[in-house]
């Protein structure tokens, strides 16, 4: 998996995306990312962790909990600040980063 190549494909979805690193693994900040949840348009900072984190094969972190969506939200410290993630298992790491992002967003759709 070429992190720089994957990051370029994420940038086509979110021009303001930033590539960071946590525990030596790539993490993508998606500032003010727009997505749909329960038929509503939401905009929020997201953090895509396209490799294993806290026992999940990949994770998507949200700046705030998405009201009424997702289950078992837990708080995490990533890149020096606090983020929320629902329990949403099984989004495989062996796929393109945009596909990982979309699969996680289905957890709060």
Partner 1 sequence: MNRLDRQSFLGPDSDTLLHECTVGLVGLGGGGSHVVQQLAHLGVGGYVLVDPDRIDFSNTNRLVGGTLADVEAQALKVSIAERVIRGVQPEARIISVADTWLEATDDLKRCDVIVGAVDSYKERDQLEGFARRHLIPYVDMGMDVTDLGNNGFLISGQVISSLPGGPCLRCCGLVTDARLEMEAQAYGVAGGRPQVVWSNGVLASTAAGLVVQLITPWFPSSPEFVYLEYDGNKGIVRPHGQMGLLKGRKCPHHPAEETGDPLFDIRKHLARLESRSKVAEVERVPLWRRLISFFRNDCS
Q: State yes or no: residue 12 binds partner 1 (CB under 8 A).
A: no
Distance between CA atoms of 80 and 105, rounded to whole angstroms?
A: 23
List of residues 6+ apart from 8 with CB closer than 8 A: none
Q: What angle is formed at CA 108 by the lines to CA 102 and CA 109, rounded to 5 degrees?
A: 70
CA–centroid distance for 86 within its chain: 11
Contact 44, 83 (CB under 8 A): no
Binding mask of the shown chain, residues 78 to 97, with x at each position contacting partner 1 by CB under 8 A: -xxxx----x-x--------
- Residues 18-47, mask of contacts with partner 1 (x by CB under 8 A): --xxxxx----x------------------
Q: Which of residues 42-81 bind partner 1 (CB under 8 A)?
A: 52, 54-56, 72, 75-77, 79-81
The residue ranges that bind partner 1 (CB under 8 A) are: 20-24, 29, 52, 54-56, 72, 75-77, 79-82, 87, 89
């Amino acid at each position: 998996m070429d992190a720089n190549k994957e990051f370029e494909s994420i940038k086509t979805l979110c021009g303001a995306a930033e590539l960071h690193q946590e525990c030596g693994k790539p993490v993508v900040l998606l500032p003010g990312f727009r997505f749909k949840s329960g038929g509503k348009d939401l905009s929020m900072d997201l953090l895509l962790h396209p490799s294993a984190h806290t026992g999940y094969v990949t994770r998507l972190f949200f700046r705030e909990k998405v009201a009424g969506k997702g289950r078992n939200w837990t708080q995490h410290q990533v890149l020096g600040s606090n983020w929320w993630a629902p329990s949403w298992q099984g989004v495989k790491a062996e796929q393109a980063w945009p596909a990982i992002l979309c699969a996680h967003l289905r957890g709060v759709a």
